[in-house]
Structure 1
Amino acid sequence: MGGFIQSSTMRKFAMALSGLFLVFFLLQHFIINLTSVTSPDTFNELSHFMGTNPLVQVLLQPVLIFGVIFHFAMGFILEAKNKKARNVNYVKYNGGANASWMSRNMIYSGIVILAFLGLHFYDFWVPEMVHKYIQSHPEDATRYYAETIAKFESPVRTGIYVVAFIFLMLHLLHGFSSSFQSIGWNNKYSKALKGFTQAYAIIIPLGFIFIAVYHYLNH
């Protein structure tokens, strides 16, 4: 593990793979949440399946939690290593001349996203665990929609979600495309892939913002 952490190439490769995994999960999460706008019954069905299916709960959920922790841990390690390298190799580091604003501030957008994930877990995952394993309520496949839209009654909470997804957009605009570079993707499809990643980085966060604002306005 020590050798892994010391290898710049391996750190970036691991960071990229964990990021791509989380991007895939984000799309799945968005598709399910979008059904809360189009069909509450479908949203309840999908949420109930995700909340009760043994494969999801026993295997996929722990993998997801590990992926989140690993990605952010590697991000902090990379930032610390890069900062140390800049202090050693450069008398004066002009970040703006070498990289975009988004790439230079990935750590800050990441911190905002991490804080938001803490809030999101508090809003949804913790109550779900309490409901199922502490209070031991019977299964209710119709409760998910009402519980979800209740979170967007407050303009403050809705505003926090909007700001968090703006930072997610900024994070993805650099991180998604650079992940493919880190794993060695460099061929004739690279330009098209970058266009796809840029579109994804804008559309998906805006979609989440739309869902939050839609539920707030419809209370």
Structure 2
Amino acid sequence: MGILSSSIARKFAMALSGMFLVFFLGQHFVINLTSVIDPDTFNSWSHFMGNNGLVQFALQPVLIFGVVFHFVMGFVLELRNRNARVVSYAKYNGGANASWASRNMIISGLVILAFLGLHFYDFWFPEMIHKYVESNPLDPTRYYAETVHKFESPVRVGLYVIAFVLLAVHLWHGFASSFQSVGFNNKYSVALSKFAKAYAIVIPVGFIFIALYLHLNQLPH
């Protein structure tokens, strides 16, 4: 019997992978926020993250595995939950028992997965090509200009905004429930839940602000 054969084990693994991704999301946000505060700092931090051996060859593969694992496990849990329901959708009043966010995690998850594909296409693949295919010389000052260029298109900015709104919806339920899944049912539960809900709003709104700022700052004044 595999370690993830039970429903409890799968939910526990799902929660842990989600918490790991939430931590990465916060770290990613802090770095991106410097693009609207100090481009030199953004260049410096981006250069470090893009050329540090530990980050590139140890942490990055772990991150990619965490993303794949989290979404695959989410689909597995959703399919098993649907198969386990004994009450048909025609008789199930979902709104009376659970929030829209909790009942549509699979939808918001799919949108976020599509957004990650766009994000990889915009940033990760060009970075890999720049460094390992074209073998360009190191340029610690290129990151800010490249990032700004990505947000020239209002269509791309709109896609990012929509994705971050769905990310907020996903985090609103997922981050808070992850604490319960790993056993944080104690006197700190209420505070942790409030922190998770605040995080679910502040971080996506922060990313939206960055995208809009970088776009609007390029428009003729």
With structure 1 as the length reference, what TM-score do the two structures score?
0.97
Number of the residue aligned with 1:25: 24
What is the identity, as a one-letter code, of the residue corresponding to 1:95?
Answer: G
Residue of structure 1 equivalent to 2:216: 217
**2:122 is the counterpart of 1:123:** yes
Distance 1:154 1:182 in 2: 40
Cα distance, 1:97 vs structure 2:
2.3
Structure 2 residue 72 is the aligned partner of structure 1 residue 65: no
> Aligned pair count?
216
In the TM superposition, residue 145 of structure 1 has moved relative to its aligned partner by 0.3
Instruction: Kindly provide the amino acid, as one letter, of the partner of residue 94 in structure 2.
Output: G
Q: Residue 139 of structure 1 aligns to a residue in which SS? A: coil
Alignment of 1:122-141 (within 5 A): 122-141=121-140
Q: Deviations over 1:150-172 (max 9, x none)?
A: 01100000000000000000000
CA offset digits 1:85-135 (Å, max 9, x no partner): 01xx22433322221110000000000000000000000000000000110
Q: Does residue 90 of the first structure (1) align with residue 87 of the second (2)?
A: yes
CA–CA distance in 1 between the matches of 2:3 and 2:101?
26
Provide the residue aligned with 2:10 in structure 1.
Answer: 11
In proportion to residue count, which structure has more helix? 1
Q: Is 1:149 paired with 2:158?
A: no
Please give the secondary structure, in 2, of the residue aligned with 1:6: coil
CA distance in structure 2 between the partners assigned to 1:215 and 1:181 by the alignment: 38
Match of 1:107 in 2: 106
Q: Name the CA distance, whole Å, in 1 between partners of 2:84 and 2:99.
A: 19
* Equivalence for 1:55: 54
TM-score (norm 2): 0.96
Q: Which runs of 5+ in 1 are unaligned?
A: none
1:123 maps to a residue whose letter is: D
Give the aligned partner of residue 169 of structure 1: 168
Partners of 1:195 and 1:80 in 2: CA distance: 29
Once residues 61 and 181 of structure 1 are traced to their aligned partners in structure 2, the CA distance between those partners, rounded to angstroms, is: 28
Residue type of the partner of 2:204?
P
The C-alpha deviation readout for 1:174-197, integer Å capped at 9, x for no partner, is: 000100000010111111111111
Q: Which residue of 2 aligns with 1:41?
A: 40
Measured in 2, the distance between the counterparts of 1:45 and 1:192 equals 35
Separation in structure 2 between the aligned mates of residue 56 and residue 94 of structure 1, nearest angstrom: 47
Once the 2 structures are TM-superposed, how far is the Cα of residue 5 of structure 1 from its aligned partner?
4.1
**Mapped partners of 1:76, 1:153: distance in 2:** 34
Q: Alpha carbon RMSD of aligned pairs, Å?
A: 0.9
| Identical pairs, percent | 72
Q: Distance in 2 between matches of 1:198 and 1:98?
A: 19
AA aligned to 1:156 is V
Paired letter, 1:151: K
- Secondary structure, in 3 states, of the residue corresponding to 1:216? helix
How far apart are the structure 2 equivalents of 1:193 and 1:7?
26
Q: Cα distance, 1:59 vs. partner?
A: 0.3
SS in 2 for 1:90: coil
Aligned to 1:79: 78
Counterpart of 2:159 in 1: which secondary structure?
Answer: helix
